[in-house]
Amino acid sequence: MAMAQSDLPPPPPKSKVYYAIDGSALSEGNRANPRTVQRMVDSLICNLAQKPTVAQAWAKYVTPSDVVGIKVSASGQATSGTHPEVVDAIARGLIESGVPARNIIVWDRNIDDLLAAGFRKDNPLYILQGIDPQNGYDQDAQVSAPVLGKLIWGDSQFGKRDGSRISDRLSNGDQLSSRSFFAKVLSKSVTKVINVPAMTDSFMTGINGGIVNMTVFNLDNWRRFGQASMDGGSYLAEVYADELVKDKVALTMMDALVIQYAGGPMPNPNFAVNNFTIFASTDVIAIDATAVRLIDELRKGSKLPSIKPACAWIESGAQLGLGQFSETRTELLRVGVEALR
């Protein structure tokens, strides 16, 4: 017996992706303008949280007792990585809401990339750190997936052959493993995360967006997930769905002041264009799907192939309940950039 139209459950509400755009966000030499960026970030968080002040807005997502991690994407360095000015603006808002600077950690995998992107170890707004290849991964926070990866230096189990299975070795003596471990900064240090990727493509995963920023760059033995993504695998979404990741991420604020649409995630100025925009949403799938559409539009203009086949994990994430994938189920809402302080 067919269900009556009125018996069908209502569709979930549309996901809201807010964006702020201002042509003065980048100044001469493509450096971010701190005052403009601060206004953009403040306006975004107030609209996202539906609160009248910056302090009240950030307080919707974090408390003064939280250790707040700001996970950035520094692999694009100063060309297309997360801009330090965006992170400074977020940190100021967190401090205004009551989070002490000593409880704010800005991190990415590689400290050299962070420094090359313009982040400073002596910034008074936060603690800056990379992931120590030797001791930075949590052996009690494991990710298993039925895809093998070749261990190299920088993976926590590299060279540790005691008890390893024959199936975990190649005939030439290399190690294979189906295990990865989360970074300790994520598993042990932070209680909440503000996810701040940059809008770039990736030869490994299609885009280097919100899901990738919280998974690939927080794991050792990560290369296997990149190859699986190029083959249409859904593992990245499954890793993000782990409570260690999903339950800690309060929101995603994507830095699209510059979009790099090819050659990523490493810096390539030949494919980087100024976009003067920052996005924010509590739906990481919606914000990543928006990034795919924008990057693909730029690639099409340069007669480059679509990145969508390598981004099947985004639609898989929607099926896992992580957010909305369809453009028709996403509202893009522009906010003003008036001063709120």
pTM of the model: 0.88
Cα–Cα distances (Å) from 324 to 15, 285, 334, in that order, read 6, 6, 19
**Mean predicted confidence (pLDDT) in 119-134:** 96
Helices (H), the chain: 34-49, 54-59, 77-80, 84-96, 111-116, 184, 210-215, 223-230, 235-240, 243-246, 284-301, 312-319
DSSP code of 97?
Answer: T
The mean pLDDT of the chain is 87
- Rounded Cα distance between 167 and 157, Å, is 15
Res 11: pLDDT: 74
Q: What sign has the CA pseudo-torsion 292, 293, 295, 301? A: positive
Res 150: pLDDT: 42
Res 337: pLDDT: 75
Q: For the chain, how big is the Rg over CA atoms in Å?
A: 20
204-231 pLDDT tens trace: 899 999 999 999 999 987 776 666 555 5
**Percentage, residues of the chain above pLDDT 70:** 83
Is the pLDDT at 49 greater than 70? The verdict is yes
Residue 214 has which token pair?
């919280």
CATH number of 23-138+182-298+323-334: 3.40.50.11440
Extents of the domains making up the chain: 23-138+182-298+323-334
Residue 41 has which token pair?
């970030």
CB crowding 214-246: b at 16 or more within 10 Å, else e = bbbbbbbbbbbbbebbbeebbbbbbbbbeebbe
* DSSP SS3 for 12: coil
Res 221: pLDDT: 79
62-113 pLDDT tens trace: 999 999 999 999 999 999 999 999 999 999 999 999 999 999 999 999 999 9
Res 161: pLDDT: 46
Is the pLDDT at 158 greater than 60? The verdict is no
Number of residues that make up the chain: 341
Is the pLDDT at 263 greater than 70? The verdict is yes
**Mean predicted confidence (pLDDT) in 11-18:** 90
267-317 pLDDT tens trace: 999 999 999 999 999 999 999 999 999 999 999 999 999 999 999 889 989
